[in-house]
Amino acid sequence: MDNRSELYQLAAQFLRQLEERGEAFLLLENINLADYPGAQAAAPEAGKAPEAVKPGPELSGQPRPGESLEAFGARIASCTRCRLHESRTKFVFGAGHPGADMLFIGEGPGAEEDRQGLPFVGRSGQLLTKIIASIGFTREEIYIANMVKCRPPGNRDPRPEEIEECNGYLLTQLELIKPKVIVTLGRFSAGYFHGSPGAAMRDLRGQIGEFHGVKVVSTYHPAALLRNSNWKRGCWEDMLLARKVYDQAGGRASSGAVYRPGN
């Protein structure tokens, strides 16, 4: 392979990455193969887009017109935007009601979630089901997603660059679901949705934030509650606040009642 062909292949690879990131429009319009004479072997007809530059799986963070939440999830399931795809077993898009008025957002899939391809299915998930039930909902009435959709190895925290790469997908989920209230689980999602990355949970709990017009309430991650049961009381108070904000925002009635000691 001569130097020009090699350069062309590098350029094509770069363009494919832009395409995956939904940024191809920045450059593709200005590409002219006449500027790449060494590319002729890969593109037999000069002036026509070569095979290598054709979009691969379309992985832009934007839904197609009329695309359902489920179809969007299926389309991005083979994402390789960040290194987390290398160690995942299954991509974990989210689960629940596609038009839920309440959306729970954790940090990233754990080992069991990675195995099953579903969010919050391990011990933390069982506790989350109880937390959701304490304010009258079943898991089918709400929606659950994570900041990143592939498991960080060894259950480490997701890195800022991984959150940044995955962020477009979560924003599209928000756009398609259109919740009235977001409940964040753990400090990563709390910091992000309150616009205070790195803030401590104690500074964000009890606050009613707003993210693109959607109310935000924050509580502990269920995994943290499993490690420290003293925080369960605080979590219940956070959930009462979330339910109050939900009712004030006109959220649909739940199938169950809010748990209060004695009822």
- What the block records as the tokens of 105 is 């957002």
* Contact indicator for 18, 53 with CB cutoff of 8 Å: no
Q: How far is the CB of 168 from ligand SF4 (least distance, A)?
A: 8
Q: How far is the CB of 179 from ligand SF4 (least distance, A)?
A: 20
147 binds ligand SF4 (CB under 6 A): no
Q: How far is CA 188 from CA 89, 136, 142, 199, in A?
A: 23, 26, 21, 9
Stretch that binds ligand SF4, among 50-58, 158-166, 194-202, 237-245 (CB under 6 A): 158-166
Q: How far is the CB of 86 from ligand SF4 (least distance, A)?
A: 8
Q: Which residue has the tokens 């319009």?
A: 29
Q: Which of 162, 179, 188, 223 binds ligand SF4 (CB under 6 A)?
A: 162
Q: How far is CA 4 from CA 13, 37, 126, in A?
A: 14, 8, 57
Beta pairing, strands 214-219 & 181-185: parallel
149 binds ligand SF4 (CB under 6 A): yes
Q: Which of 15, 121, 145, 166 binds ligand SF4 (CB under 6 A)?
A: 166
Looking only at residues 68 through 127 of this chain, which bind ligand SF4 when binding is defined by CB under 6 A? 79-82, 84-85, 91
Stretch that binds ligand SF4, among 33-41, 161-169, 172-180, 232-240 (CB under 6 A): 161-169
Please choose, from the candidates 212, 261, 220, 254, the residue with its C-alpha nearest in 3D space to the C-alpha of residue 239: 220
Please choose, from the candidates 72, 57, 53, the residue with its C-alpha nearest in 3D space to the C-alpha of residue 11: 53
Name the site residues for ligand SF4 (rule: CB under 6 A).
79-82, 84-85, 91, 148-150, 162, 165-166
